[in-house]
Structure 1
């Protein structure tokens, strides 16, 4: 089985940034099939464009733009890429980084569905693209926050959550653009609206409005990178009332305009 060293991925690396114990790479995947292999460092994979299938000894994931995976070091896996341009961003983390910040790495290979974690990763990628004098500080801080967010999330494993939590998450993620109402969601889950409203923050760490805004914006991000639609089309497809509302929400969440974000990623 192949063992990949720091900064090594199958494909064409278009950007590589070494920041202390971190290695960040923006890579175009060029191999239709990559056999079983592992990496010497723990790392995140963040899919920016198109799709890729990844399998390990327990599960197989179909990764689309916005998918976020974590691999502990030496976790064996394989990859399969469909035809067309596919691009991913990687954050490799040397064991010394975990020791320096007293951060506990997650175990195994995990498909991370948490919107708060994805928001932090998008911000991390944005900082890497800007590459300014304070980039190392910003990226270290974002990565510490990301692990803190995930540690908190995994303190409440899905197996210990009521079944309606996963049902609600699936409803919202499958159709974030829908004009959901509290009564609609409560009816779908067979819960009282007051109970649902009260319990939502316990399992999602935020209220309905904030959560929906996050996942609507995350649906928009890969659409901005693909450049196939106008801002108005993206706004409507993601459930925003109009382009102005979309731009205001985007700036509040990511501290830059959708146009600036698109330019940062695609030039």
Structure 2
């Protein structure tokens, strides 16, 4: 089985950034099928455009734009790329970085798919930092990465065991983000009282219901930016925003740039 050294991925590498303990790689996937292999470093794969199927010994991940996977070091897996343009952004992390900055944290073994919209938005911001190419790249990326791990690692906050309604509610919020959602409707869908839902939502989602929905809708919009035929107004409406103005305000509040500015960054190679 082939081991890929730091910075090596199957495809055409557009840009690589070597930071202290962190390596960033922007890759266009050009190989239809990649046999079993593993990587020297732990890393995140963030799909910016296109589709890819990735499998390991336990499960398969069908990755669309906006999909985020984490792989621990030396985790065997394979890839299948459907026809069409596919682009991925990789963030590799050396063991020394973990030992120095997260010495008491246990990083998940194997691979996992991450659907937390807060973490995904952080990765879009990391990608944005690589396009700015200024002297703040390393501290900006490291800060954003630590925010992501703070969100993901359970020991960073009080952990509540998820009741069954949490998984169902998360599914509703991710699958029906364009719908007009009311607290009463959501509570009825998961069979709990609206007061119970509003009180307990922050325990399990670590933000308010409104903030979570805005993050989901904004994160979904990124996956549509590569479709040049879609206007920003069409994207706004498809993602559940009432109009482009509302979309722009929410997007800029979360990402620091307007949708048009961020779309321009994502389309660059």
Normalised to the residue count of structure 2, the TM-score between the two structures is 0.95
Alpha-carbon distance in structure 1 between the residues aligned to 2:29 and 2:197? 43
Alpha-carbon distance in structure 2 between the residues aligned to 1:28 and 1:2? 20
Which residue does 2:36 correspond to in 1?
36
Equivalent residues in 2 for 1:1-267, closer than 5 Å: 1-103=1-103, 104=105, 105-152=107-154, 160-267=161-268
Alpha-carbon distance in structure 2 between the residues aligned to 1:220 and 1:254? 12
Query: C-alpha root-mean-square deviation of aligned residues, in Å?
Result: 1.6
- 1:69 partner SS: strand
Q: How far does the alpha carbon of each residue in 1:77-115 deviate from its partner, in whole angstroms, 9 at most, with x for none?
A: 000110010010000111111122135333210001111
Alpha-carbon distance in structure 2 between the residues aligned to 1:38 and 1:157? 32
- 1:251 partner SS: helix
Point out the more displaced range, 91-100 or 55-64. 91-100
- 2:135 partner SS: coil
Point out the more displaced range, 38-47 or 102-111. 102-111
Alpha-carbon distance in structure 1 between the residues aligned to 2:9 and 2:157? 32
1:155 is displaced (CA, Å) by 7.1
- 2:169 partner SS: helix
Q: How far does the alpha carbon of each residue in 1:99-135 deviate from its partner, in whole angstroms, 9 at most, with x for none?
A: 2213533321000111111111111111111111111
Aligned length: 266
Point out the more displaced range, 97-106 or 138-147. 97-106
1:156 is displaced (CA, Å) by 7.8
Q: How far does the alpha carbon of each residue in 1:214-259 deviate from its partner, in whole angstroms, 9 at most, with x for none?
A: 0000110121233231010001001111111111111111000111
- 1:88 partner SS: strand
Q: How far does the alpha carbon of each residue in 1:187-238 deviate from its partner, in whole angstroms, 9 at most, with x for none?
A: 1111111111111111001111100000000110121233231010001001
Alpha-carbon distance in structure 1 between the residues aligned to 2:156 and 2:33? 32
Query: After TM superposition, where is structure 1 displaced by more than 6 Å over at least 4 residues in a row?
Result: 153-158
Alpha-carbon distance in structure 2 between the residues aligned to 1:197 and 1:207? 8
Alpha-carbon distance in structure 1 between the residues aligned to 2:240 and 2:256? 20
Alpha-carbon distance in structure 1 between the residues aligned to 2:227 and 2:255? 18
Normalised to the residue count of structure 1, the TM-score between the two structures is 0.96
1:154 is displaced (CA, Å) by 9.1
